């Protein structure tokens, strides 16, 4: 069920045969035990073909290609089907063990499954937090120069205005590169991008002791700093 769910409930011929073959094997075992207990087993009967049917399905599955699946986003609900299903089974077993006799091995396996789910949840939380921090950092950073972008500048200006109302002061300088279009036309856009990157790094290093630099867009930069003593 987990495999079929992860394929979007469209497993295709290959996965369908594999799942059917896996189901037929224990089903044949159960049917064989019941028939033997009732003294009803006969060679060549339908019950006797379950194992053969299982092997045949698994063999036929190798002749069919696995249908490629479309990449899903990390928040797809199907990505939690397996841990939810296994966790529910483990929890149900532990609850059942509170009222009925259950082997120690089964209890340990169920507890181990829950421990793995907790560990996997912790890892997923850490990965998601790292991803969110990276996205937030990228959303506030100019991709070419590594300086703060317009959004970061506006956020900084709001904080500066709050500080000014409390009696503080900030200095905001705006710069624009004259003739940069001619430089791009003469040497090409890659050279222009390289120049902007170097200028951005130098500007950021120059104002670093007192503030920070932002790239508003194009060739405009806006260093912001506190008053220097």
10-residue mean pLDDT profile of the chain (229 residues): values are 67 85 84 77 75 87 77 57 81 88 87 89 90 89 85 84 79 82 86 87 85 75 47
Residue 13 domain-assigned? yes
Which DSSP category does 173 fall into?
Answer: -
Question: Could you give the count of Cα atoms lying within 13 Å of 156 in the half-sphere of its Cβ?
Answer: 23
Domain housing 118: 74-139
Residue 200 domain-assigned? yes
Rounded CA separation 174/170 (Å): 13
Q: Report in angstroms the alpha-carbon separations of 43 from 15, 34, 72.
A: 30, 15, 48
The predicted structure's pLDDT at residue 68? 67
184 CA to centre of own chain: 39
The predicted structure's pLDDT at residue 221? 57
- Domain boundary pick from 86, 110, 139: 139
Which two tokens mark 13?
A: 């011929």
pTM of the model: 0.51
Whether residues 46 and 81 fall in one domain: no
Which two tokens mark 135?
A: 């996205």
Q: Where are the alpha helices (DSSP H) in 38-179?
A: 50-61, 81-97, 104-139, 150-165
Strand order in the sheet with 211-212: 171-172, 224-225, 211-212
Please tell me the total count of domains within the chain.
3
The predicted structure's pLDDT at residue 126? 92
The predicted structure's pLDDT at residue 222? 56
Rounded CA separation 40/45 (Å): 10
Residue 218 domain-assigned? yes
Query: What single string gives the DSSP state of each residue in 31-77?
Result: HHHHHHHTT---TTSGGGGHHHHHHHHHHHHTTSPPPPPPP--TT-G
Which two tokens mark 200?
A: 């951005």
The predicted structure's pLDDT at residue 74? 45
Which two tokens mark 15?
A: 């996965």
- Domain boundary pick from 35, 50, 66: 66
Residue 144 domain-assigned? no
């Amino acid at each position: 069920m987990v495999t079929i769910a992860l394929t979007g409930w469209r497993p295709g011929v290959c996965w369908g045969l594999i799942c059917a073959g896996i189901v037929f094997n224990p089903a044949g075992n159960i049917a064989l035990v019941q028939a033997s207990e009732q003294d009803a087993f006969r060679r060549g009967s339908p019950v006797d073909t379950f194992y053969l049917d299982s092997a045949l399905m698994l063999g036929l599955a190798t002749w069919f290609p696995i249908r490629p699946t479309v990449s899903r986003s990390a928040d797809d609900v199907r990505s939690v089907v397996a841990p939810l299903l296994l966790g529910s089974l483990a929890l149900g077993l532990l609850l059942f063990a509170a009222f009925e006799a259950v082997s120690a091995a089964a209890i340990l396996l169920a507890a181990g499954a829950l421990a793995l789910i907790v560990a996997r949840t912790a890892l997923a939380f850490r990965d998601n937090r790292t991803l969110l921090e990276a996205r937030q950092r990228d959303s506030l950073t100019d991709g070419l120069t590594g300086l703060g972008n317009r959004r970061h500048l506006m956020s900084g200006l709001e904080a500066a205005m709050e500080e000014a109302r409390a009696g503080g002061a900030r200095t905001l300088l705006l710069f624009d590169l004259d003739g940069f279009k001619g430089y791009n036309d003469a040497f090409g856009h890659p050279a222009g991008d390289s120049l902007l990157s170097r200028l951005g790094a130098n500007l950021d290093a120059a104002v670093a002791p007192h503030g920070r630099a932002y790239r508003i867009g194009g060739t405009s930069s806006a260093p912001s700093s506190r008053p220097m003593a």
